[in-house]
Amino acid sequence: MTNAPTPTLAAAKQESGGALGFYGVWVLAAVALVVLPLIFSSGGSLTSFCLIGIAIIFALSYNILLGQTGLLSFGHAVQYGLGGFLAVHVMNAVANHNWPIPLPVIPLIGGIGGMAFALLVGWVMTKRAGTVFAMISLGIGELVASSSLILRSVFGGESGITTDRTSLMPMFGWTFGPQIQVYYLIAFWVLISAIAMYALTRTPLGRICNAVRDNPERVEFIGYDPHVVRYLAYMFAGFFAGIAGGLTAINFEIANSAYLGATQSGLVLFSAFIGGTAYFFGPILGAILVTYLQLGLTSVTSVWQLYFGVIFIGIVMFAPGGIAGILMKHRPLIRAGTLGTVIPSYLVAAIPTLAFALGIILTIETVARFSGGDVINLLGIPFVATAPTTWAAAAVLVVGGFLVARITWRRVAEAWDRAATVARDRGYLA
């Protein structure tokens, strides 16, 4: 025991410093959530913010499984959708009976719905991780999604079940009719849920989730049953997914079978992965990007899903750590002050990479619009889809961009190695 106080003291010091930064981040997030609609006050951006907020909760809940516990789920939308359906039914019941339950409580009901379903099916599902879990999650997802079309009284068939969020009792004079009031309701739940999910990672259970992710076999030899750990993680993920589903139900005033389906499950996997599952904030970035892309791309191209696929493949192949992984890779360089030596190589590499990307876009759009003979507007330049000159331009951009980009990225790697070596020598590992 003689030497114990020294490391303990050092640890305490480090953690108190971290705590200050910790609260700072959440206060900042709260302020940002309050201020955002005041800066971007158009109806369109408000709608986007609402969707992004919901996507953030959903993606973070997914990462309790994938990033924290190492469970790859293909059916996470089940909990989300069932949370949404339960929320709609409760809202209608509350309105019919004039129960004194205000709207802001409803997402909690959604969460309970998501958790209850996880409680029910989770024990069997989480017996094994890996492929077995992934396959069962896919099966359950399809099972519930298809039942939703058959069990009409509960799920309302193809049209779904509608509700009226303003029919609940008002709170502090708020009826939640105007979108701005819904925004603040969502923002409140985003903040609470994000803090709760972060806090969860800092509990004994949260730490053991990581241990189960890294090495479930060894966990059994330090007193834990990995099955119980996975089950608990699955329930928490279901709870927060249900909250997101409840908020969606409030936002759209409807719940339908699309909420439960494979597309929704795929989208959340996509968000978490693109954002980066290794860091808590990764899925937040992913949710923001994916929602924006979804909203932005659908208005400019009919094949927006194709772009999602291309981006996903690109991230998996070249940046498996996602956006958060790329950002965090730069941390030791920033700390060591060697980032400046890498930036010029980035700028050089950006030009051919951009040309390559434009070539890909032009190719995709040419193929997509060929039969219509439409005109593609790219950077203000009109390209006719049926013109051989357009095909030639696309080919030159793709091939030329790729060849030049390869050389420049090699330069980036070299500059990177030099900068990282210096950072390591200065003692910055991460």
Partner 1 sequence: MTAAIQVNAVEKSFGNVQIIRDLNLSVAKGERHAIIGPNGAGKSTTFNLISGHIKPTSGEIRLNGEVTSGLRPFEINRRGLSRSFQVTNVFARMTVWENVRCAVLWATGHRYAFWKNVDSLPEVKQRTAQILDDIHLSHRRDVPAGLLTYAEQRELEIGITIAGGASVIMLDEPTAGMSHAETERAVALIRRLTEGRTLVIVEHDMSVVFGLADRISVLVYGHIIASGTPEEIRGNPKVKEAYLGEEVD
Residues at the site binding partner 1, with contacts judged by CB under 8 A: 1, 3-4, 6-8, 11-12, 15, 199-200, 202-208, 210-211, 213-215, 217-225, 228-229, 232, 236, 278, 429
b/e map of 335-362 (b: 16 or more CB within 10 Å)? ebebbeebeebbebbeebbebbbbbbbb
Contact criterion met (CB below 8 Å) for 405 and 356? yes
> How many CB atoms sit inside 10 A of residue 97's CB?
9
Q: Least CB distance from residue 56 to partner 1, whole Å?
A: 21
Nearer to partner 1, 7 or 173 (CB): 7
Nearer to partner 1, 35 or 199 (CB): 199
**Helix or strand or coil: residue 35?**
helix
Nearer to partner 1, 33 or 208 (CB): 208
Question: Residue 248, class by beta-carbon neighbours within 10 Å (0-12 exposed, 13-18 middle, 19+ buried)?
Answer: buried
Retrieve residue 99's tokens: 């129960």
Q: Least CB distance from residue 210 to partner 1, whole Å?
A: 6
- Separation CA 62–CA 58 (nearest Å): 6
- Separation CA 215–CA 262 (nearest Å): 29
* CA distances (Å), origin 307, targets 244, 285, 294, 300, 427: 25, 18, 10, 12, 40
Q: Least CB distance from residue 333 to partner 1, whole Å?
A: 18
Q: Least CB distance from residue 141 to partner 1, whole Å?
A: 26
Nearer to partner 1, 10 or 169 (CB): 10
Nearer to partner 1, 39 or 222 (CB): 222
Q: Least CB distance from residue 429 to partner 1, whole Å?
A: 7
- Separation CA 226–CA 60 (nearest Å): 21
Half-sphere exposure of 183 (CA within 13 A, CB side): 21
Residue (of 122, 104, 279) closest to 198 by Cα position: 279
Nearer to partner 1, 202 or 406 (CB): 202
Q: Least CB distance from residue 410 to partner 1, whole Å?
A: 26
Contact criterion met (CB below 8 Å) for 325 and 278? yes
Nearer to partner 1, 12 or 351 (CB): 12
- Provide the 8-state DSSP code for 383: E
Q: Least CB distance from residue 231 to partner 1, whole Å?
A: 10
Query: Which spans in 157-281 are helix H?
Result: 179-201, 204-214, 216-219, 226-252, 262-275
- Separation CA 191–CA 181 (nearest Å): 16
Nearer to partner 1, 215 or 302 (CB): 215
Q: Least CB distance from residue 111 to partner 1, whole Å?
A: 15
Nearer to partner 1, 18 or 100 (CB): 18
Q: Least CB distance from residue 80 to partner 1, whole Å?
A: 21
Q: Least CB distance from residue 60 to partner 1, whole Å?
A: 16
- Separation CA 391–CA 385 (nearest Å): 8
Q: Least CB distance from residue 215 to partner 1, whole Å?
A: 5
- State the residue for tokens 């068939």: 157
Contact criterion met (CB below 8 Å) for 246 and 106? yes
- State the residue for tokens 């080919």: 395
